[in-house]
């Protein structure tokens, strides 16, 4: 794979991942959406299918890492570090593009939701608490956040979820060359993401992907959304550092137990 193929593949694939994953969050969250209040099950399966779609699109070009933690784990597993910055750059750019496309697709719903007096005129106690912590009423569409703020627990949750994801990819999902997800691996990984969401997503919203959280959070900070609140930068390091630690641990476990 050439550097240009890697960058293009990761940019397009991660953009599709965030467009569909962020899209289901918007569909469930925004007041004027037909899917509003569809619930956590819809979000978990929406993200799983988003992963599957993005992998099938990008795999021929880049191997479909779509996640800096996956790229890090494969570099540790194989000792190949040359293309890591290219993968990470494409993933971050793609995540920002995908988040922007969610805003475009749901533009009217964002405007209706954030200017509705029922939403921002008389905020609930939970909304007031979220605002005090810097989290606006739509930040959850773009990035993750904890239900209970505990740095150790939140970090541990992201690490644990990512270890499960990366171990599944390394043991079940790689293509024959071992440098990305194969056809069957995409399906396996998508269901693993659903399982993580259903079983481990409750505490933090299961970022398990630094680009998935950081790129959209940057977009949230930049977009001209009315009454959007803060982007919760005090928490933002956890869904970046946690998955990277998890990816490194999973790669180490794989090299010890499976290689």
Q: Does position 11 have pLDDT exceeding 70, yes or no? A: yes
Query: Can you read off the two tokens belonging to residue 98?
Result: 């995908």
How far separated are the first and last CA of the chain, in Å rounded?
24
Note the pLDDT of residue 137: 74
Mean pLDDT, all residues of the chain? 91
Whether 130 has a pLDDT exceeding 80, the answer reads no
pLDDT (average), residues 151-176: 95
Average pLDDT over residues 250-254: 97
What is residue 114's predicted lDDT score, i.e. its pLDDT?
82
- What is the reported pLDDT for 120? 44
Among residues 152, 175, 172, 198, the alpha carbon closest in space to that of 39 is found at 198
Q: How far is residue 252 from each of residues 71, 121, 180, measured CA to CA in Å?
A: 14, 51, 18
- Is the confidence at residue 169, as pLDDT, over 50? yes
Structure confidence at residue 123 (pLDDT):
45
**pLDDT, position 132:** 44
- What pLDDT score was predicted for residue 122? 45
User: pLDDT digits over 170-183, tens only?
Assistant: 999 888 888 888 88
Per-residue pLDDT tens over the stretch 89-128: 999 999 999 999 999 999 999 998 887 644 444 444 454 4
Whether the predicted pLDDT of 134 surpasses 50: no
Residues in Cβ contact with 52 at an 8 Å cutoff, skipping those fewer than 6 apart: 186, 187, 189, 190
In angstroms, rounded to a whole number, what is the distance separating the alpha carbons of residues 169 and 146?
26
pLDDT confidence of residue 117: 45
SS3 13: helix
pLDDT at 203 over 50: yes
What pLDDT shows up at residue 176?
A: 80
Compute CA distances 197 → 54, 98, 171, whole Å: 18, 20, 20
Rounded to whole angstroms, how far apart are CA atoms 106 and 223? Answer: 13
CA distances (Å), origin 190, targets 62, 163, 196: 18, 15, 10
Q: What is the mean pLDDT of residues 52-59?
A: 97
- The answer for residues whose C-beta is within 8 angstroms of residue 37's C-beta and 6 or more apart is 28
Q: Which of 50-54, 79-83, 182-186, 201-205 has the lowest mean pLDDT?
A: 182-186
């Amino acid at each position: 794979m050439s550097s240009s193929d890697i960058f293009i593949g990761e940019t397009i694939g991660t953009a599709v991942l965030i467009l569909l994953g962020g899209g289901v969050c918007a569909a469930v969250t925004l007041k004027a959406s037909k899917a509003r209040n569809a619930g956590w099950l819809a979000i978990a399966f929406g993200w799983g299918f988003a992963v599957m779609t993005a992998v099938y699109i990008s795999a021929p070009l880049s191997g479909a890492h779509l996640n800096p933690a996956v790229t890090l784990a494969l570099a540790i597993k194989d000792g190949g570090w040359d293309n890591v910055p290219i993968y990470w750059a494409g993933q971050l750019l793609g995540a920002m593009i995908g988040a922007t496309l969610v805003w475009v697709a749901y533009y009217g719903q964002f405007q209706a939701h954030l200017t509705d007096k029922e939403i921002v005129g008389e905020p609930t106690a939970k909304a007031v608490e979220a605002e005090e912590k810097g989290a606006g009423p739509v930040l959850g569409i773009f990035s993750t956040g904890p239900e209970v703020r505990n740095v150790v627990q939140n970090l541990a949750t992201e690490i644990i979820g990512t270890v499960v994801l990366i171990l599944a990819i390394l043991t079940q999902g790689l293509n024959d060359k071992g440098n990305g997800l194969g056809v069957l691996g995409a399906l396996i990984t998508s269901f693993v993401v659903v399982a993580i969401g259903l079983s481990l997503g409750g505490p933090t919203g299961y970022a398990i992907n630094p680009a998935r959280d950081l790129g959209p959070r940057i977009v949230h900070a930049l977009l001209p959304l009315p009454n959007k609140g803060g982007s919760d930068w005090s928490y933002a390091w956890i869904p970046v550092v946690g998955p990277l630690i998890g990816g490194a641990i999973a790669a180490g476990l794989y090299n010890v137990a499976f290689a």
